[in-house]
Amino acid sequence: MKEYKLKINNNSYNVVIKDVTDDAVLAEVNGKQHIVNIDTIENFTAVADSKARAPISAMPSASPAAPMASPPASATAGSGAILTPIPGQIISITVSLGEQVRTGQKLLVLEAMKLENSITATIDGTVSEILIAEGDVVNQGQPLIILT
């Protein structure tokens, strides 16, 4: 475990590197855990121990994100399931059950990394399920709303 004190754009960060694998880093930044996926790093070798290791995504996290439940049967690919593009917190839901929506219409606002992101409809349809509530913390790929 390595600890760093970093300053980025005059903001101070306490970073603890908890684990490193070939494709991800488990880091705690100012007390909050994050999984950082690695695409490529030059001159980097992950230190492996003699025991087989679980991928970081399988490790317990202190993050407030709830574990992802199995998606409902209606949330299969091509079904109109609106999935979380990035982990974050639901700030507001702008549609209701039974509402007709058009492609590109805002469905909800997701806060991620202190930025508000509008999540929009990918197809025309009717809101048949709302699987989250305002204030929920969601994982990447988690079904949010089902359109039929």
CB 132 within 8 A of CB 146: no
CA distance 117 to 85: 10
Q: How many CB atoms lie within 10 A of CB 144?
A: 22
Give the residue with greater pLDDT, 37 vs 141: 141
Maximum Cα–Cα distance for the chain, whole Å? 56
pLDDT in tens, 79-91: 689 999 999 999 9
Amino acid symbol at 54: A
* 106-127 pLDDT, tens digit each: 999 999 888 899 999 999 999 9
Domains and CATH numbers, the chain: 2-58 (no CATH), 77-147 (2.40.50.100)
DSSP code string of 20-86: E-SSEEEEEETTEEEEEE-S--TT------SS----GGGS---SSPPPPPPPPGGGSTTS-EEE-SS
What pLDDT was estimated at residue 142?
Answer: 92
CA distance 78 to 42: 38
CA atoms of 139 and 9, how far apart (whole Å)? 28
What's the CA gap between 6 and 115, in Å, rounded? 21
Residue given tokens 């760093």 in the structure block? 4
The Cα 59–Cα 53 span in angstroms is 10
Quick one: pLDDT band at residue 54, thresholds 50, 70, 90? Answer: low
* Each residue's pLDDT tens digit, 33-53: 888 877 765 554 444 444 445
